[in-house]
Amino acid sequence: MADHRKTAAVPDEQQRKANLRLALILASVAAIFAIGFMTKIILMGG
């Protein structure tokens, strides 16, 4: 089996920063949807 870690063109530190940025973006999008959903329930009564 091939070791895919060695085939990555992006250095580990740069990849870690990219992964962290992606995680923060996805988490913020999920939080916005959750807040919007809760606000809709509260204001519209379900």
Residue 37 has pLDDT above 80, yes or no: yes
45: left (phi over 0), alpha (psi -120 to 50) or beta: left
Q: Which residue has the higher pLDDT, 1 or 30?
A: 30
The predicted structure's pLDDT at residue 8: 56
**Angstrom distance (rounded) from CA 18 to CA 36:** 27
Rounded average pLDDT over 22-40: 97
* Percent of the residues in the chain that have a pLDDT greater than 70, as a whole number: 76
CA distance 13 to 33: 31
Domain boundaries, the chain: 12-46
